[in-house]
Chains A and B, each alone.
Chain A
Amino acid sequence: MSFLGAVIDGVLLGGYYAMIACGLSFMFGIMKIINLAHGSLAIVAAFMLWTIAERLGYNPFLALIVVLPAMGCLGWLLQRAVLERSARSGELVPILSTFGLAIVVENSLFEYFGADTRSLAPYVGSLSYDSFDIGAGLYVGELAVLTFAVAILLLGGLQLFLTYTPLGCAIRATAEDPDTVELVGVNSRFVNAVAAAIALVTVGLAGLFLGLRSSFDPYVGSMQLIFAFEAAVIGGTGSLWGTLGGGIVLGIAQTFAAHLHPQGFLLAGHGVFLLVLVGRLYFSGHYLRALLKLKLG
């Protein structure tokens, strides 16, 4: 495969990573919590979509009408029942809670669905293997392009929401100063629950595209969490668009390395992440904290 072909594939892969990462960044930027169950919740969404497609015969895209609101409710519940309470005991406790949750979710999925890998690809016709001919002997997957386009729309939509709507404004203010925001009449608990709901809706969307582009089983959530985190950290500097940048870098590194060695895919991804981390640490000194904090623009 040509160099250009690999780059394009990598960039498009970055679109998926941006999608899975934006929920993680969003939740961290607003509630300062890293949700270790993030990946496994994406798999929950994928399984929900699969169940609807398999048992009821609906196209997964259509099934989103049910699954996305369900994920939103799950996010609300997650914030109110778990994150809000555990955060009271300190900033470290929610890490433990979400880790425990991840274990429960993954193994419950295994219990119910078994170890077989599933895929959403069979239910969308030929979308997952059709490609566009873009000339010069290059082909790009239709699904990959769609994923990238949806990712752009998602990030753009979120950015617009945060900038121009009153609720978005309230979310940004709560992220910046949750105590003072109460003094101007904003219910910070409500706002955080909405933010969590939004984050999980994006996770649901990411779950769809994960299921379409590859097969999944109950335990791939951890890998998705790691990719999301790596993309978010590589992109780092602030706006949601940084997450897209990070995703693209990750995607390109992985795609190239995959051509060199079978283990290359994973190693290169982790390698780039570690390089960026070390680079930031030693060349930016005390700016590190700000850069890694994934604040929202």
Chain B
Amino acid sequence: MDAHSDLSIQRWTSLSLGVAIVVAVLFVLLAVGPAFLPRTILDKLTVLFIYVCLAAMWNALAGYGGMISAGQQAFFGLGGYLAIRLSEWGIWPYPALIAAAALAGLSALPISAIVLRLRAGEFAIGMWIIAECVRLLVNLDPVIQGDTGRSLIALSTFDAAERRIFTYWMALASMGIMLGIIFLLLRSRLGSSIQAIRDNEEAAASVGVRVLVAKRIIFMIAAVGCALAGALWLATFTSFQPRSFFGIQWSAYMIFMVLVGGIGRFEGPILGAIIFFLIETWFGTSGVWYLIMLGLTALLFSIFLPKGIWGYFEDRFHVSLLPVGYRVQTFVSGPDRRLGEPFN
């Protein structure tokens, strides 16, 4: 190595530090939102937070873990169903939501024992089948009344305004916590393991990465996140129908958000969720054409822009807003010259 140069590994750049501060401020503003935002905006934001959560979870699985799942609706629906079940047993609705998510996360353990050894397309369909199985089993519970569904009746003990605000806060908190978990995970040793697995599973195993353990952790986190989203969806729209909660369209939405936003990047799913939310707001009532457009967009992106908008943006301009990787900085003698690409 050249005697003049010095290598230092950095995790934060001034840009990302700035962004982190902006994000924190934004979070605080959103938290006090109910004080000054009209209720329609609050409702819309709640839905947006749920979408961000779903996108982030799917991205954690696919973009970081290399596991493409066509069956996350299993946990989404399970979250909704368990919230109803627990509520029927007398647990207060909001704690029931959290408990539902936790239980769903636990259920992911035996499920992971079955599906995690499947690779690529087999895993995708395998998860789809799991979702179908969960739906069929849930249908057997008489409280659900088959396809008619059931409402989270206990919510009516709160008045509409209170319910709106509590659900909003819970959605905001859930989104923040799940994003936070992913962020910390990626910066940890486990995060490097996960990405190594995604890039080359055999090579990762050969350097001692415990592949199955790492995948299982991501799988369970994603299960909890999706279940939380499902429970929150129930709290927002009050009624639960198996066909709608366990429908494949949830996977379609998640795939769209992550593919368009940027797979394998932290910021990607957030961007994707915002885009999806806007599209749904403008075109959601166009019925089937809306779905055709979603599918077509996902198809075109997968062929022409597989890294998504954020991925393209990041690659082109070498910018990374939130520091999930490492930057190698070499300072060559003379004026401060920074080389180096983010190591993720």
Contacts and interface: CB of A to CB of B under 8 A. Distances in A.
Do A and B interact directly, with beta carbons closer than 8 Å? Answer: yes
Interface stretch (A47-55, A84-92, A128-136): A84-92
B70 A97 contact: no
A267 B303 contact: no
A30 interface: no
B54 to A, nearest CB: 16
User: Which of B118, B120, B259, B302 has the most CB atoms of chain A within a 10 A radius of its CB?
Assistant: B302
Nearest to A219: B248
Contacts, number: 120
Given A104-B292, A281-B114, A292-B122, A273 B298 contact: no
User: Which of A28, A96, A230, A274 has the most CB atoms of chain B within a 10 A radius of its CB?
Assistant: A96
A111 interface: yes
User: Which of B70, B121, B137, B139 has the most CB atoms of chain A within a 10 A radius of its CB?
Assistant: B121
B125 A288 contact: no
B338 interface: no
A52 to B, nearest CB: 24
Contacts of B120: 34, 91-92, 95
Contacts of B252: 99, 103
Interface string A91-134: 11111110111111001101100000000000000000000000
B296 A100 contact: yes
A297 to B, nearest CB: 20
Given A96-B302, A277-B126, A278-B113, 12 more contacts: A34-B121, A36-B124, A93-B306, A94-B302, A95-B124, A100-B295, A100-B297, A101-B299, A107-B292, A111-B292, A225-B125, A281-B117
Interface string A275-291: 00110010000001100
A226 interface: yes
Interface stretch (B127-135, B148-156, B203-211): B127-135
Nearest to A261: B140
Contact of B122 (A34, A93, A222): A34
A270 B133 contact: yes
A95 B303 CA distance: 11
Sorting the interface of chain B by its residue count into under 10, 10 to 19, 20 to 34 or 35 or more gives 35 or more
A86 B294 CA distance: 18
A200 interface: no
A263 interface: yes
A263 B140 contact: yes
Contact of B121 (A28, A104, A230, A281): A28
A92 B68 CA distance: 7
B121 A86 contact: no
A33 B121 contact: yes
Nearest to A233: B122
Given A86-B306, A111-B289, A263-B140, A273 B129 contact: yes
27 contacts: A34-B120, A82-B299, A89-B306, A92-B66, A93-B306, A95-B70, A96-B255, A97-B299, A100-B255, A100-B299, A100-B300, A100-B302, A104-B296, A110-B288, A226-B128, A226-B132, A229-B129, A267-B137, A270-B136, A277-B114, A277-B118, A278-B114, A281-B114, A288-B117, A289-B119, A292-B118, A292-B122
A110 B118 CA distance: 32
A150 interface: no
Nearest to B300: A100
Contacts of A230: 129
A224 to B, nearest CB: 12
B68 A274 contact: no
A36 B125 contact: yes
A100 B248 CA distance: 12
A266 interface: yes
A239 B140 CA distance: 38
A102 B295 contact: yes
Nearest to B128: A226
